[in-house]
Chain A
Amino acid sequence: SQQGEEDPQALSIQEGENATMNCSYKTSINNLQWYRQNSGRGLVHLILIRSNEREKHSGRLRVTLDTSKKSSSLLITASRAADTASYFCATPRGYGGSQGNLIFGKGTKLSVKP
């Protein structure tokens, strides 16, 4: 079963608004990553947050991690039409990520209207 589950499945906002996406996971992790996928393209790595971090920023992106609730959120501030994409959270499989691959959620499809 999927480790990460994003919420909502789809989100439609106006340009300039903020977009918040949430991810819940099931097992203990040492890091969580967020990726973006534009239509017809591969995943692009956005940000990685480690289990000892609570919040991380990168440009207009803000990621939080709550290991007690096994959840993470991705906030995109002042959204632009170019932010239209699907966003996925990913967690390591296996204890300590020992299994070597990431498990992806089903993604949140973000649509930013000009």
Chain B
Amino acid sequence: GEEVAQTPKHLVRGEGQKAKLYCAPIKGHSYVFWYQQVLKNEFKFLISFQNENVFDETGMPKERFSAKCLPNSPCSLEIQATKLEDSAVYFCASSQFKGQGPITSQPQHFGDGTRLSIL
């Protein structure tokens, strides 16, 4: 597709439950990024993929967070044993590698996010 599609738009979970978020990147884009936006508008980088391979996972709280980008499937971000502090909007972005320079020299195309509320 021509847009990054994130589902669901809203997700409500009780503390301790599992949450799974999905992202379909723009067709032809080989990089996918996950960010977390909390109330103060700050974007926190979580993880990035180059195709199905993890490119950079330095932002991931590894104990409870996991992510995958499998061929022919939407990418996913899963949070086990959710905590109140996980409440945030989770954004997925995709980017197209144009053959030269680092991937951060390309624009990132964002979906509209999944609002996760932990009660």
Using a CB–CB cutoff of 8 Å, the interface residues on chain A facing chain B are 2, 30-31, 33, 35, 40-45, 48, 50, 86, 88, 92-93, 96-104, 106-107
Contact = CB atoms under 8 A, between A and B. Distances in A.
Majority secondary structure, B binding face: mixed
Contacts, number: 72
Contact of B108 (A2, A45, A86): A45
Interface of B: 4, 6, 31, 33, 35, 40-43, 45, 48, 55-56, 58-59, 91, 93, 101-105, 107-113
Contacts of A41: 112-113
Contacts of B107: 33, 45, 48
A56 to B, nearest CB: 13
7 contacts: A40-B112, A44-B110, A45-B109, A93-B104, A97-B105, A100-B31, A104-B42
B43 A104 contact: yes
